[in-house]
Amino acid sequence: TITADKLAGANVLFHGLFLGEGAPPPPSAPGAPTLVSANPADGQVALSWIAPSSDGGSSITSYTATATPEGATCVTTGATACTITGLANGTAYSFSVVAANAAGLGPASNALEATPRTVPGAPQGIVASPGNTVVGLSWEAPSSDGGAPVTGYKVYRGTSPGTGTLRATLGTVLSYSDTSLTNGTTYYYTIRALNPAGEGPSSAETPAKPFGPPGAPRSPVAVGRPGSVAIGWTAPLSDGGASVSGYRIQRGEAPGAGTEIATVGNVLSYTDATAVDGTTYYYTVSAVNAGGEGARSIAVAGTPPEIPGVEGDWLGRYGSAGYAMFAWTSSADLVLLPTATLTIERGARSAGGVTAETRALRSPDGSSRRIGAIYDKTRVRFRLDFTSAYSGFLHIYAVDWATIDRRERITVMNGASGQATELLTAFPQGAWLHYPITVAAGGRVTITADKLAGANVLLNGVFLGDGAAPPQTAPSAPRNLAAAAASPKGVNLTWTAPITNSGSLIIGYQIYRSTASGAGVLLTTVGDVLTYRDAATQKNVRYYYKVVAVNAIGASAFSNEATAVAR
């Protein structure tokens, strides 16, 4: 039954009906697919699409996707997705897809563009620059961005190798400052680059240890010696995270007024050879490392002894605040200490008596001189207990009466701090030693003299009050000059420094030579050394030598004469 029903128009009609065999109309090619996505990856792009709205009357048998340029393809037998591989990262491609059925290929789909990519390479050339609680990092971009621009970096940090955790995520910068670190701790850094494909591999691990200036040197001491002050100290408790490379020494003639006088390496002592005998200096020391200069140590005072001073003359110079001459018998006029009491803790007293010897201390009224001392085989010790406050100088006098090469170390303890002076040369003309002290009422100062060489140790008097230093003079003569033939040629000379530089630093020596005893002309001038090699000699000739010491005031007398036959 065939029925035709009107759906619209004036009526409905048929024109004919036929029976018999006959083929249907032939199919056509399918329509165009719709490409909906192109997702890039490492060397490939994944494509997906929607089937054509018309299959042309024949089932779709395949799809072919094509990349332009290069023409790489992927083919499916009906699936609406495939991945084109073998593409070059960083190259922009245009993609399209066509469908096929029994009638052939249909038209191409719409085109989509995509660029294959992968994660970037590792950042290069990492430099870690440590500072005070900070590490500055810098690096270079990866040699490969993976086919997509680098969008940022991640910084990883650990306190041991291979333990880094994320510290910071950055934009497209090539540096980072890591702050609030602990000086002296080693940190390990890696950097990773980012792009749309993800996070790349880590850079090489780079260690860095932040550091700052070291702490203050500890326990400084200053020991006065003729013409110099020896300073010693202990290393800081903290090196600030970087090894101490050296120290700076500051000096002033008042506390807190020091200026730098020397820079030394990583040693714990220094000798100030520019100190003037009788002048008190205040020294501080600061440590230096790669982080800079640390805080200064506490100040310590040192005074080179006067050898000789103005021998036993002290009136008008010292003692304005009190004195104690260790030559007293029953006479109270030899001890006058209004603000302190004197107690001898160790040592015997030798009263001596009255003498015309100028090395002896003059009596307070100036009418006579007194021989006397406190002495002991190894140590003399006495103390001053102050009944009222005192701030000024403590002066001590010592004289080696018998010229038996005594050597002494005198230490003055003012509470918890101490000052020391070493008499390392003979002092037969007398030595004045000076120490700045500040004592509260009820305070105590202890004076100790220890034997370094000689028969015993002694002190002759103690004085309180400021006073001028004695005038400077030319040094005494060099001692113990010796001459010996040198190999292969010449004559070697050695000598010992004068007993005293007389308050002015020795700046050099003049060497005199002749071929006859008692004569001599100036051969050369050398610096503050104690040896010289005379190479301007003739073989088998006997030469005679003398040496003269020179300071800023003038030249000394001649040393002893020494002779040798040159080779």
pLDDT mean for each 10 residues of the chain (567 residues): 87 82 81 97 97 94 96 95 96 97 96 96 97 96 96 97 96 97 96 96 96 94 84 93 95 89 95 89 95 93 71 81 77 77 90 80 83 92 94 89 81 80 78 87 94 92 73 78 94 87 75 89 90 94 94 84 95
Classify residue 314: in a domain, yes or no.
no
Token output for 223: 């020991």
User: Which residues span the domain enclosing 276?
Assistant: 218-302
Residues 66 and 110 in one domain: yes
211 three-class SS: coil
Sole residue written with tokens 């799809």: 63
Give the model's pLDDT for residue 129: 95
CB 409 within 8 A of CB 453: no
Closest CA to 433 of 424, 441, 48, 366: 424
Distance of alpha carbon 30 from alpha carbon 57, whole angstroms: 8
Give the model's pLDDT for residue 471: 53
Residues 391 and 460 in one domain: yes
Residues 228 and 199 in one domain: no
SS3 annotation, 530-547: CEEEECCCCCCCEEEEEE
Classify residue 148: in a domain, yes or no.
yes
Dihedral sign, Cα of residue 47, residue 50, residue 56, residue 62: positive
What single DSSP character describes residue 149? Answer: -
Domain boundary among 92, 114, 136: 114
Classify residue 28: in a domain, yes or no.
no
Residue 123: cis peptide before it, omega within 30 degrees of 0? no
Token output for 288: 């230096």
Classify residue 177: in a domain, yes or no.
yes
Classify residue 88: in a domain, yes or no.
yes
Residues 494 and 530 in one domain: yes
Residues 264 and 379 in one domain: no
Residues 454 and 492 in one domain: no
336-372 pLDDT tens trace: 888 899 999 999 888 777 888 888 888 887 788 888 8
- In one-letter notation, the amino acid at residue 259 is T
- Close Cβ partners of 38 (under 8 Å, ≥ 6 residues apart): 45, 46, 47, 95, 112, 113, 114
Domain boundary among 80, 95, 114: 114
Classify residue 560: in a domain, yes or no.
yes
Domain boundary among 170, 188, 208: 208
SS3 annotation, 341-396: EEEEEECEEEEEEEECCCCCEECCCCCCEEEEEEEECCEEEEEEEECCCEEEEEEE
261 three-class SS: strand
Residue 436: cis peptide before it, omega within 30 degrees of 0? no
Residues 57 and 85 in one domain: yes
The DSSP bridge pattern shows strands 562-565 and 542-551 to be antiparallel
Closest CA to 480 of 425, 533, 547, 426: 547
Count the Cβ atoms, other than its own, within 10 Å of residue 430. 25
Q: Is the pTM of this model over 0.75?
A: no
Dihedral sign, Cα of residue 545, residue 549, residue 555, residue 559: negative
**Radius of gyration, alpha carbons of the chain:** 50
Classify residue 382: in a domain, yes or no.
yes
Residues 332 and 410 in one domain: yes
CATH of the domain at 129: 2.60.40.10
- Close Cβ partners of 20 (under 8 Å, ≥ 6 residues apart): none
Distance of alpha carbon 491 from alpha carbon 42, whole angstroms: 86
Residues 453 and 527 in one domain: no
Give the model's pLDDT for residue 468: 45
Classify residue 472: in a domain, yes or no.
no
Residues 189 and 76 in one domain: no
Residues 448 and 392 in one domain: yes
**Count of domains observed in the chain:** 5
Residues 69 and 139 in one domain: no
